[in-house]
Structure 1
Amino acid sequence: MNYDEKVKNRMRRIEGQVKGIIRMMEEEKDCKDLVTQMAAVRSALDRAIGVIVSSNLEACVREQVEKGESTDELIKEAVNLLVKSR
């Protein structure tokens, strides 16, 4: 699958957040601040997963429709991926 620059940039921001958390740990920052930042990373990853799954689903559904084939399995697979990611 081809991942666009927006998704890659989203992942780079998440990478920067994780590096910031590590830096906070090295500086022995307060637990509450760490957990807050870690929750933000988890939320950002959840959103990235949603973007990737929905983009892939859209492309796959379009392809199946052009072929005149059913999209039921694709949709089930996408939902399972989202559920598994939680």
Structure 2
Amino acid sequence: MDYAQSVINRLKRIEGQIKGVLGMMEEGKDCREIVTQLSAARSAIDRTMGVIVSSNLEQCVRESVEKGEGTEHLVKEAVELLIKSR
């Protein structure tokens, strides 16, 4: 599967957030600030996983429809992936 540049950019921003948290820890910042930043990074990761799964689902459904195949199993698999990621 090809990943959109927007998804790659999201992950690069998350990488920057994590590096920022490491810097905060090295500076001895307050734990509340660190936890807040980690929570923001986790939320960004969750949203990115949703984007990846939905993009993949869209592509797979399109291919299945073109082949005349059913798509129910694809939707079920996507939902299971999202549930598993929680």
Identical pairs, percent:
66
Q: Can you give the 5+ residue segments of structure 2 that lack an aligned partner in the other structure?
A: none
Question: Secondary structure, in 3 states, of the residue corresponding to 2:36?
Answer: helix
Query: May I ask how many residue pairs the two structures share in their alignment?
Result: 86
TM value normalised by structure 1: 0.98
**Within 5 A, what are the aligned runs for 1:1-86?**
1-86=1-86
TM-score, with normalisation over the residues of structure 2?
Answer: 0.98
Structure 1 gaps, min length 5: none
One-letter identity of the residue aligned with 1:35:
V
- Residues in 1 aligned to 2:9 and 2:62: alpha-carbon distance in whole angstroms: 26
- The letter of the residue matching 1:50 is G
